[in-house]
Chains A and B, each alone.
Chain A
Amino acid sequence: MNRNNIFIHLALALVLIFVAAFAGQLSRWRKQWKPHIIPATEKKRPTTTDEIALSETRSFGSPEVLVKFKSGVSQETIEQVTARFHDRIEDRIENAEGWEAIDDLDNADAATVVNEYLQLAEVEYAEPNFEIKLPDEVEGPLVPVLPRDPQFSDQWALANSGQKGGKEGADISATLAWSITTGSDKVVVAVLDSGVDYTHEDLAQNMWVRPANMDPYRDNELGTIDDLNGYNAIDSTADPMDENGHGTHCAGIIGAEGENNVGIAGVNWKVQIMPLKFMNAGGFGTTKDAIEAINYVIDRKKAGVNVRIISASWGSTQKSRALEAVIRKAYENGILFVAAAGNASTNNDRSPHFPSSYNVPNVISVAALERHDQLASFSNYGEKSVAIAAPGVEILSTWLDNQYEEKSGTSMATPVVAGVAALILAEHPNMSVDDLRKKLLASSDPIIALKGKIATAGRINAAKALE
């Protein structure tokens, strides 16, 4: 090889290196680029309050959804599908054949994009690409925290390992949430129900007691009631002892003491449960007594009790303007109202169930899921009127006489959501009721079976709620 040939080869090699480097940089720029203009041909996007709330959780700068296409679907088809949705394939996921990380270019929320893909025959599964991180800038993966409560392994709602043939992971991610917080005894949750067995071994430490420096409850008609342990609206007395078991069960779901080597763990290991009794030993009560109990909660809030949540695992098809008005009054006082969607297997959009169907900003209507992530056969639903779903079938919780029982109903799903709300308030004590509601609804895992059934089409996720 002569000297001229060597220079020619060296020059060619340098040109090739520059071309390769420039192409690589172009590729990186392409991946980083996002248009800021929403095209005129925008897809139909959510309009309900709940759906809008979901959209606020979108994390920018990372792919929004992970989509698994069915085997045999060509890359060309995948590209056509994403182009049709005005989406972009961000990446193929290594070691996960068929999975694509897809970025939406229309600023849509992840849940909506997931639902679009789930409708396609070519798609096997789709899920949001959520970022999970510790609060206060603490980065790193969450590590599950398991309580040493002997019956915790039966609490599939909190940690579904596939026990009793259930679907692994079909739970509220409580163990991840607990790596952030296990609750706070500064948060008070009112359990408006058949009362609570406040002496139960797994509840006694988490029961609200009126502070010594707070005046007893005074009612214009009833006079003074020494509400040391809560309130009984049936008899207008100070004793909210449960004679049925339903209220005690709901209370245990929210806040059975965790890590105490006894029984079960609540969604909150630490919390204050304010027991209110308006349903009798049979498990039913009157609208008037429900109103009276809610008025009590509002009064105590005004007196300084940090009661921010009412858990209402009850209802009927009878609409009451008076009940609606007092729930609105609770909203005006910063109190969230979590309500059971009902157990008639009916559509609440057509046949409302109250109080869950009241159009008041603090109301969250809750449907029930079973351990395979299917809507419970009994659960009411409603794409407009039912907000979110939570486990509500074969739920183990506290019962009368220091017992524990498995029960089913939207009654059981409701305190799960109320409990997650309490966890959020443990981390963000000053969060407004509006933001609390939005946060809860934005913290769901999309569930295929819920699409078209409830507003968020999702199961509450406690870990996401604490992001």
Chain B
Amino acid sequence: MPISKDTAVENARNDLAKRLKIDAADVKEKSVEDSDFPDMALGAAEDDEMSGQMITRGWRIQFEAEGKTFEYRADKNQVRAYKFKGRNYRI
């Protein structure tokens, strides 16, 4: 079942709140932009993960929380936290 943009944003928001141990309402949506990513892991591969080297259309989602900016990347197949505390996570 393909993920919609709204669902991706919502999943990302909930994931960030969980990681920061804060309420989802305290995670502010900063921007959601269509974007081309370099590969099928959306340029956010986890350790030990290989991905198809095909340009992939998706969404770059940015949130503000606790005075910082956090980035998530998503497409119809997946949502990923990009470099959260230096590491990528597929959620």
Task: Please list the residues of chain A having a beta carbon within 8 angstroms of any beta carbon in chain B.
Answer: 193-194, 244, 246, 249, 278-279, 281-288, 290, 313-318, 320, 340-345, 378, 407-412, 414
Contact = CB atoms under 8 A, between A and B. Distances in A.
A106 to B, nearest CB: 39
Given A316-B49, A378-B38, A283 B77 contact: yes
Given A246-B40, A282-B40, A378-B38, A412 B54 contact: yes
B11 interface: no
Given A249-B54, A284-B49, 9 more contacts: A279-B51, A285-B49, A288-B48, A314-B50, A316-B49, A343-B38, A343-B53, A411-B53, A414-B53
A410 B41 CA distance: 15
A344 B51 CA distance: 13
Contacts of A414: 53
Most buried by A among B53, B56, B78: B53
Q: How big is the B interface, by class?
A: 10 to 19
Given A246-B40, A282-B77, A283-B77, A316 B45 contact: yes
Contacts of B49: 284-287, 316, 318
B40 A284 contact: yes
Which 8 A-B residue pairings sit nearest by Cβ, starting from the closest?
A: A283-B40, A409-B54, A343-B38, A282-B77, A340-B53, A284-B51, A411-B53, A283-B52
A408 B55 contact: yes
A411 B38 CA distance: 11
Nearest to B75: A282
Interface in B15-69: 38-41, 43, 45, 47-56
A285 B50 contact: yes
B72 to A, nearest CB: 15
Interface of B: 38-41, 43, 45, 47-56, 77-78, 90
A316 B55 CA distance: 14
A172 B48 CA distance: 34
B53 A318 contact: no
A157 to B, nearest CB: 15
B78 A246 contact: no
B54 A313 contact: yes
Contact of B52 (A194, A286, A288, A318): A194
Grouping DSSP codes into helix (H, G, I), strand (E, B) and loop, the B interface class, with mixed when no group exceeds half, is loop
Contacts of B77: 244, 281-283
A279 B78 CA distance: 14
Most buried by A among B45, B47, B50: B50
Which of B45, B48, B51, B78 has the most chain A CB within a 10 Å cutoff? B51
B40 to A, nearest CB: 3
B53 to A, nearest CB: 4
Contacts of A411: 52-54
B41 A284 contact: yes
Contact of B53 (A278, A285, A288, A314): A314
Nearest to A346: B38
B50 A409 contact: no
A419 B9 CA distance: 40
Contacts of A344: 38, 43
Nearest to B77: A282
A318 B54 contact: no
A217 B49 CA distance: 26
A190 to B, nearest CB: 16
A294 to B, nearest CB: 12
Contacts of A315: 50-51, 53
Contact of B39 (A285, A343, A407): A343
Contacts of A249: 54
B48 A284 contact: no
Contact of A287 (B48, B53, B56): B48
B59 to A, nearest CB: 15
Given A283-B40, A409-B39, A318 B48 contact: yes
20 contacts: A244-B40, A282-B77, A282-B78, A283-B41, A283-B52, A284-B41, A284-B45, A286-B48, A316-B41, A316-B49, A342-B39, A342-B53, A343-B38, A343-B39, A344-B38, A378-B55, A407-B55, A408-B54, A408-B55, A411-B53
